[in-house]
Structure 1
Amino acid sequence: MELLVKMASLISDACRDAERLPVALISCGVVQAAAALCLLISRPPGGIFLHHGKAPFYLYYGILIAVFIFGLFEASAGFWVSNNVNGRRAAGKTILCVSILPLVVVAALGGFIILH
């Protein structure tokens, strides 16, 4: 839970200060990708994903793969934004705001518990 609070504070700091935007993008992207990868490797699907056929089972892994790819994309966007922070601020803030949803998905599936 502490890691999730740190990510939220990074996001809020980046929205106020453009110089912190690349750090927030890179950090959140790497943590997001790592949490999704940990869930892919170590935790099988549970709850609603188990007893309702094959579609939810594959949906679980599809969601985690999509979050992993988006985390890598977000981290690479952080490097892209760092080359021209003032000119690419709007794109970086948009990516950072969109990244809140995958962050919540990984947290709901228990990805941050594994990282501790």
Structure 2
Amino acid sequence: MEVRHNPATLPVALISFGVVLSAAALALIVFKAPAGIFLHLHGSTPAYLYYGVLGAIAILGLAEASLGFWVVPRDDVDGDDGSWHTTGKTVLWVSLLPLVLVFALGGLAFLK
């Protein structure tokens, strides 16, 4: 990743990744009904869980994109990239898990 070597690319990466994550989760909410294990469980709780998880991922993506506006690239003399840069890199790495979850719930179905 270029983000490790060039702090100026971190805000762009956060905004882009957050928008993609939110768009993928919202597309699943709108266009894909719960399937798989959600159909074999009884009651409406699995459907609420499906939509709740996707809604939380969409909100997380929007929060990640908004964090991209707060992460300002800094050129510190001491070599420290600053707390915002470290927070931004951490959020970027942690947000890979929700992306995998979106793909597991059917995110690749739109490629057909």
TM-score by length of 2: 0.83
CA distance in 1, matches of 2:20, 2:3: 16
Unaligned runs of 5+ in 1: 1-11
- Alpha carbons of 1:56 and 1:16: their partners in 2 closer, same or farther (altered >3 Å)? farther
2:64 aligns with 74
1:6 aligns with none
2:34 aligns with 45
Shift in Å at residue 115 of structure 1? Answer: 6.9
More helix by share: 1
2:19 touches 2:62 (CA, 8 Å); kept in 1? yes
Question: Are residues 1:98 and 2:94 paired?
Answer: yes
**Larger CA Rg, structure 1 vs 2:** 2
Shift in Å at residue 113 of structure 1? Answer: 4.0
TM-score by length of 1: 0.80
Q: How many residues align?
A: 104
Unaligned runs of 5+ in 2: 75-80
2:8 touches 2:73 (CA, 8 Å); kept in 1? no
Amino acid at match of 2:25: A
Runs of 4+ in 1 over 6 A off after TM superposition: none
